[in-house]
Amino acid sequence: MALSVGPPVIIPFMLFGGFFLNTASVPSYFEWFSYLSWFRYGNEALLINQWAEVDTIQCTRSNTTCPRSGRTVLQTYNFKVDDFWIDIICLFSLIAAFRLLAFLALLSKTRRSK
């Protein structure tokens, strides 16, 4: 049953986490959902870690547009370098919160079966 329920639950987290949709493009009525997505915080922290210190990017082709620096890449995705540690804290908070919810769900199942 978990295999059939998993993808419909995970896909919205991926969608609103910034993989398929820019975080600035999320409609205001779904913005709260993006704050529950661990993909959002993980993706943002990873991109900040990768691109924050890159000062210049060499373009290999002249007919394509490419960002000139890592800061430009982060601005394209609407990420801020200052949010790195907030992302890390939010990831650990989500880990703790989801584990607590899972524990409470299992606890309620054991109390009902007695």
> Residues of the chain with pLDDT > 70: what percent?
96
Q: Are 26 and 35 in contact (CB under 8 A)?
A: no
pLDDT at 50: 94
Q: How far is CA 71 from CA 47, 50, 63, 65, 99, in A?
A: 10, 10, 22, 15, 35
**Predicted TM-score (pTM) of this structure:** 0.82
**Backbone angles phi and psi of 25, in degrees to 5:** -90, -5
For residue range 60-109, list pLDDT tens digits in order.
777 678 888 999 999 988 899 999 999 999 999 999 999 999 999 999 98
For residues 71 and 81, give the distance between their C-alpha atoms in angstroms, rounded to a whole number: 8
Sequence letter at residue 33: F
Could you count the other beta carbons within 10 Å of the beta carbon of residue 26? 19
